[in-house]
Amino acid sequence: MDYSKLIYKAIKAREEAYAPYSNFKVGASVMTEDGSIYSGCNIENASYGATNCAERTAIFKAVSEGHRKLKAIAIVGSPEEYTYPCGICRQVIVEFSQDNMDIIIAKNKDDYIVKKLDEIMPGAFSKKDLGK
Q: Which is catalytic among the residues 15, 16, 55, 95? A: 55
For residue 88, the tally of other CB atoms under 10 A from its CB is 12
Tell me the per-residue pLDDT of 33-65, one tens digit each, with 9 for 90 and over.
999 999 999 999 999 999 999 999 999 999 999
pTM: 0.95
What Cα–Cα distance (Å) separates residue 90 from each residue in 39, 96, 119? 16, 10, 11
What Cα–Cα distance (Å) separates residue 130 from each residue in 71, 95, 124? 23, 12, 12
Give me the pLDDT at residue 98, please: 87
Give me the pLDDT at residue 47, please: 97
Q: Catalogue all structural domains in the chain, each as residue range(s) with its CATH number.
A: 4-130 (3.40.140.10)
Active site residue 55: yes
Tell me the per-residue pLDDT of 87-101, one tens digit each, with 9 for 90 and over.
999 999 999 998 899
